[in-house]
Amino acid sequence: MNELGNARATLLQVGEEGEAQRIDNYLLRRLKGVPKSHVYRVLRSGEVRVNSGRVRPDYRLRIGDRVRVPPMRLASPASRPAPRPLELPLVHEDAALLVIDKPSGIAVHGGSGVSYGVIEALRAARPQAKFLELVHRLDRDTSGLLMVAKKRSALLELHRMLRAGEVEKIYLAAVQGRWRGGARELSAALHKYVTSSGERRVSVREDGLRAVTRIRPLAVGDRFSLLEARLLTGRTHQIRVHLAHAGHPVVGDDKYGDFELNRSLARTGVGRLLLHAHRLAFDHPATGKRMALEAPWPEALRRFAEQHLPAHAR
């Protein structure tokens, strides 16, 4: 560790990018390289002042607030590789929001052994942007539509809409087995836990959180099926766990899938999770205009469907 900058306190003026944000999250974003434990320690000790007064870690900032931050010890910049700008397919952009078609294999943010992800790469590519925040998340190996807010007001409104179920989120999934029963809902409650090795996992458990996925078959074959999955709730790994529990794991799923089948398919060129965030529909957070966005089928899913499924709508 080394001391970066001078040894005096820093005064931060809160603008639109910090409006309604919790002080702890605001500082974690602004103080890159400072351990989270250190940020919470100076908050609890009262060394961080807002408008000359002490605040709790859950205090929500207002435009114009003056935040005094004590001298902080930062990790050496060389200890972690700097984010590189990534060329990401842009589906939509306006003053409040951008939507990308995230490729499979790229994390949405750094952490858990990943130095950086989509959001860090976007910030590196747009150093002039005052505000860029993920609206929601996709698993690293899931491809498709990912929303990023360019204004805090848009982020807060989209979060409200997601909680209220006002955002239509539709995925495409290639799964193992012949789907039977037509369109139906999967509603097993889900429990999130961490394994002894630190891996995040989800299981079906009666005392878990409510989770509902609406399934509609698009093409059904003897060995595989293509499904449309609409999320009515937004739990971690929800589609993957619901489908595995129903006896139809997603092809290429290395956590909940058929590992022998995945190894066999990998030899034929199927080396990724065949789950794709295909469609988003919502009222624009600033204008109220209805938006309907789609990400085209990834090549891996298209090839798999052509080789293993009967004729289907594309």
Q: Mark whether 139 is an active-site residue.
A: yes
Domains and CATH numbers, the chain: 2-71 (3.10.290.10), 83-149 (3.30.70), 165-308 (3.30.2350.10)
Q: Are 106 and 115 in contact (CB under 8 A)?
A: no
CA distances from 18 to 14, 136, 151, 229 (A): 6, 18, 10, 35
- pLDDT tens for each residue of 101-133: 999 999 988 755 556 789 888 988 888 998 999
Residue 222 CB neighbours (<10 A): 10
Q: Which of 129, 83, 126 is nearest to 108 (CA)?
A: 83
Q: Which of 173, 189, 155 is nearest to 309 (CA)?
A: 173
Which of 24, 65, 101, 139 is an active site residue?
A: 139
Count of all residues that appear for the chain in the document = 314
The SS3 call for residue 190 is strand
- pLDDT tens for each residue of 148-167: 999 999 999 999 999 999 99
Position 222 scores a pLDDT of: 92
Where residue 312 falls among pLDDT bands split at 50, 70, 90?
A: low
What value does the mean pLDDT of the chain take? 88
Position 41 scores a pLDDT of: 85
C-alpha 97 chain-centroid distance: 15
* Integer Cα distance of 278 and 280 in angstroms: 7
| Average pLDDT value for residue range 1-11 | 55
**Which residue carries 């952009």 as its tokens?**
93
Return the structure tokens found at 300: 């891996």
Q: Are 250 and 240 in contact (CB under 8 A)?
A: yes
Residue 100 CB neighbours (<10 A): 21
Q: Which is more confident, 71 or 145?
A: 145
Position 314 scores a pLDDT of: 46
Q: Are 283 and 295 in contact (CB under 8 A)?
A: no
Position 51 scores a pLDDT of: 92
